[in-house]
Amino acid sequence: MSDLNHTAVLGAGVIGASWTALFLASGRSVAVFDVSDSAEKQVRQYVENSWPVLTELGLAKNGNPDRVSFHKSASMAVDGAAFVQESVPERIGIKHELYASIEAAISGEAVVATSASGLTLSEMQVGWTDPSRFVLGHPFNPPHLIPLVEVMGNERTGDGVVETAERFYASVGKVTIRVNREVPGHVANRLQAAVWREAIHLVKTGVASVEDVDKAMWAGPGLRWAAMGPTMLFHLGAGEGGLAAFCERYTDSFNRWWDDLGVLHLEPQLAKQLVSGVVQATDDQSPAKLSEHRDALITAMLKATAPLRIN
């Protein structure tokens, strides 16, 4: 296997542009294909805007923002690429058509990963004659900042392909987890969905405002969850006895809370209630302004915690 030095990004919108910046920062060259005429301008702008942050985080030591090229077709972009990240829209027809157009052009050793959030690996594999080099590599937005990538293969995936993808992501600074079984939303989006459902339930039933429920998360468990996962944290929540003591002590409490959690769907009326709550909380600041603030906070946290990370 080559050192995955030359990569391709197919679809360069919100996610693909961010992947492009990260791959360039890691010292790779990136061949981009996107159907939009404005993609080249937007990607170059995105790379330029994100380069200072990537440098600040120490992720751009070997990188060169100019090693990006733009191509007229997906098959031209994947030619010679050792790692291909596909981030075209989440529509099965578009994904299948794209895979059919690149299959003959990808090199035999190349790994192709899809960023897909909602589609399952097995339904996307239908677009391939031989899907053995094709895996899930699901990032969190924006991929150049958030470390997590969820990686998955299945019985149709070739030996060592998942491991190659994991090594590649580690080499660009990502933290990977392995998804062992196909479920809608993979792992992390299901966790988000579970928490958000209860956040909405608390608002809907008048327990607290949108702003206070959000605050309860970022100023409380959210900060701890950025340090360690929930089960590990509870291992530290009952002294020397660890998780066994915690379970013994709090089983009744958790069972009682779980029995009381809300089950709901996001109906239009409920969405309206959330929107007005968020408008009140944002004090007229635009989503773009708030996104800048979010990215500054995430960057500061990543920077401050980098020397303390064990793995």
Ligand X SMILES: NC(=O)c1ccc[n+]([C@@H]2O[C@H](COP(=O)([O-])OP(=O)(O)OC[C@H]3O[C@@H](n4cnc5c(N)ncnc54)[C@H](O)[C@@H]3O)[C@@H](O)[C@H]2O)c1
Count of other CB atoms within 10 angstroms of residue 250: 14
Cβ nearer to ligand X, comparing 11 with 153: 11
Report how many residues bind ligand X under the rule CB under 6 A.
26
Closest approach, Cβ 256 to ligand X, in A, equals: 35
Query: Which part of the chain contacts ligand X (CB under 6 A), choosing from 86-94, 152-160, 224-232, 303-311?
Result: 86-94
What is the nearest approach in angstroms of ligand X to the Cβ of residue 8?
Answer: 11
Q: Which of 34/246 has CB closer to ligand X? A: 34
Our finding on whether 125 is near ligand X (CB under 6 A) is no
Is 14 one of the binding residues for ligand X (CB under 6 A)? Answer: yes
Q: In the sheet that 6-10 helps form, which strands lie side by side, from edge to edge? A: 68-70, 29-33, 6-10, 83-86, 111-114, 134-139, 148-152, 175-178
Judged by CB under 6 A, does residue 146 bind ligand X? no
Whole-angstrom distance, CA of residue 149 vs CA of residue 139 = 5
Q: Which of 28, 30, 31, 33 binds ligand X (CB under 6 A)?
A: 33
Rounded to the nearest 10 degrees, the angle between the axes of helix 268-282 and helix 188-204 is: 90
* Residue partners of 2: CB distance under 8 A and separation at least 6: 82, 109
Q: Does 36 bind ligand X (CB under 6 A)?
A: yes
Question: Is 137 or 153 the residue whose CB approaches ligand X more closely?
Answer: 137
Q: Which region, judged by CB under 6 A, interacts with ligand X, from 104-112, 115-123, 262-270, 288-296?
A: 115-123
Contact between 77 and ligand X by CB under 6 A: the answer reads: no
List alpha helices for the chain, DSSP H: 14-25, 39-56, 74-78, 92-102, 121-125, 161-171, 188-204, 210-218, 221-225, 230-235, 242-260, 268-282, 287-305
Catalog residues that contact ligand X under the rule CB under 6 A: 10-16, 33-36, 39, 74, 87-90, 94, 98, 115-118, 138-139, 141
